[in-house]
Amino acid sequence: MLITFEGIEGCGKSTQSRMVLDHLQQRGVPALWTRQPGGCDLGGRLRALLLGREGDGLTPLSELFLYLADRAQHVAEVIRPALAAGTVVLCDRFTDSTVAYQGYGRGLDVSLIHRLNAVAVDGCLPDLTLILDLPVETGLTRARTRNADQGQTESEGRFEAEETAFHQRIRDGYLTLAAENPDRYAVIPAQGEPEEVFGRVWPMVCSRLGIAEHLM
């Protein structure tokens, strides 16, 4: 079972996906948390390039191919073997990030991105995608505060520095994807404290995995 977590900057998907990991492990469900970009050795190197200032000169198309390279390697090296072993894989960003950011955000052809994503994942598709949705201003404020606290402005702040309209297109893009395929996506309102948001996330995960929400 592959569950992906998506959303704009500062939406809380990393916190939520790690909370899901903790809860699954407490239940004895084998689970793995991973992320894109950066969930394998090559990905770690690509992440530094893509999210740091070094990536400033990338054209939208070369940026797209680097995300796809990260994905192809990560699926082959980490995700597919884990799924084959019966592990629930929780992935912080996946194919939809490329559609939302490089497609709706940067303006590359969305149908081309769908086709290239399909090549990169070679049939490894999410069973459930949770989109953590909140207003762009709220997310950006959270993300910029977090980056400043962690001293990440130089190493990982490239997208947070983009204009508000860019992030608005990404949010709208995610909502469009969800509306097109309600079976695979759940849009979760992401405002509020982490525990409150988790109260909306956990039932979705349990229902897709066919497990009870509460410990027996």
Identity of residue 160: E
Distance from C-alpha of 116 to C-alpha of 190, rounded to nearest angstrom: 29
Distance from C-alpha of 123 to C-alpha of 107, rounded to nearest angstrom: 25
Q: Which stretch binds ligand TMP (CB under 6 A): 29-37, 74-82, 126-134, 189-197?
A: 29-37
Q: Is 101 near ligand TMP (CB under 6 A)?
A: yes
Q: Which stretch binds ligand TMP (CB under 6 A): 35-43, 74-82, 181-189, 203-211?
A: 35-43
* DSSP string computed for 160-181: TTS-HHHHHHHHHHHHHHHHH-
Asked if 130 and 4 touch (Cβ cutoff 8 Å), the reply is: yes
Q: Is 98 near ligand TMP (CB under 6 A)?
A: yes
Among 93, 167, 169, 171, binds ligand TMP (CB under 6 A): 93
Tokens of residue 118, six digits = 């399909």
Shortest distance, CB of residue 110 to ligand TMP, whole angstroms? 13
Distance from C-alpha of 134 to C-alpha of 24, rounded to nearest angstrom: 25
Q: Is 74 near ligand TMP (CB under 6 A)?
A: no
Shortest distance, CB of residue 123 to ligand TMP, whole angstroms? 18
Q: Is 51 near ligand TMP (CB under 6 A)?
A: yes
> Going residue by residue from 177 to 206, which x/- string records binding to ligand TMP, judged by CB under 6 A?
------------------------------
Distance from C-alpha of 192 to C-alpha of 198, rounded to nearest angstrom: 10
Cα distances from 205 to residues 123, 132, 160, 209, in angstroms, run 22, 13, 29, 6
Among 17, 97, 129, 147, binds ligand TMP (CB under 6 A): 97
The site for ligand TMP, by CB under 6 A, has a size of: 12
Q: Is 104 near ligand TMP (CB under 6 A)?
A: no
| Structure letter (DSSP) for residue 190 | -
- By C-beta, is 48 or 206 nearer to ligand TMP? 48
User: Which residues from 142-161 bind ligand TMP, rule CB under 6 A?
Assistant: 159
Among 17, 19, 33, 67, binds ligand TMP (CB under 6 A): 67
Sheet of strand 128-133, all strands in order from the earlier edge strand to the far edge: 31-35, 88-92, 2-7, 128-133, 185-189
Vertex 90 angle, CA 84 and 93, to 5° = 120
Shortest distance, CB of residue 142 to ligand TMP, whole angstroms? 11
Identity of residue 112: L
Q: Using CB under 6 A as the criterion, which residues of the chain lie in contact with ligand TMP when the complex forms?
A: 9, 35-37, 51, 67, 93, 97-98, 101-102, 159
